[in-house]
């Protein structure tokens, strides 16, 4: 694994960890409209979508420049998409009041 691939995976895992921590904070205090976790509502709504799109574009650029292998790029993309999907699956119904 090259240095670029190691940096890529550190960024991917850090982002997935941030999403998981944010999800746990949100689930601990789901009333996101008021209180100390009001800031979390923005991240819960836009983090899994906008952040994922940005990291997917970064992965595609890195693969096109041949800084990371296709296997590492696709693996990272799949991991980001899976974590983002789970976060959205658990938070959107709560935010929509379902």
Provide the pLDDT for residue 51.
Answer: 83
- Comparing 38 with 82, which gets the higher pLDDT? 82
Q: Can you tell me the distance from the alpha carbon of 28 to that of 23, in angstroms, rounded to the nearest whole number?
A: 8
Is residue 96 scored above 90 in pLDDT?
A: no
- State the average pLDDT for the chain: 82
Residue 56 corresponds to which tokens in the numbers above?
A: 């997917």
Provide the pLDDT for residue 27.
Answer: 79
For 45-92, the pLDDT digits (tens) are 676 778 888 889 999 999 999 999 999 999 999 999 999 888 888 877
- CB atoms closer than 10 angstroms to residue 20: 13
- Comparing 49 with 14, which gets the higher pLDDT? 14
Give pTM, 2 decimals: 0.79
Report yes or no: 84 and 15 within 8 Å, Cβ to Cβ.
no
């Amino acid at each position: 694994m090259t240095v670029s691939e190691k940096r890529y995976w550190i960024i991917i895992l850090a982002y997935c960890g941030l999403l998981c921590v944010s999800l746990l904070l949100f689930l601990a205090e789901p009333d996101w409209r008021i209180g100390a976790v009001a800031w979390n509502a923005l991240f819960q709504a836009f983090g899994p979508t906008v952040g994922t799109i940005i990291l997917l574009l970064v992965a595609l650029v890195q693969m096109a420049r041949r800084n990371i292998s296709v296997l590492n790029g696709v693996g990272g993309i799949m991991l980001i998409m899976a974590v983002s999907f789970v976060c959205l699956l658990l938070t959107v119904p709560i935010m929509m009041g379902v």
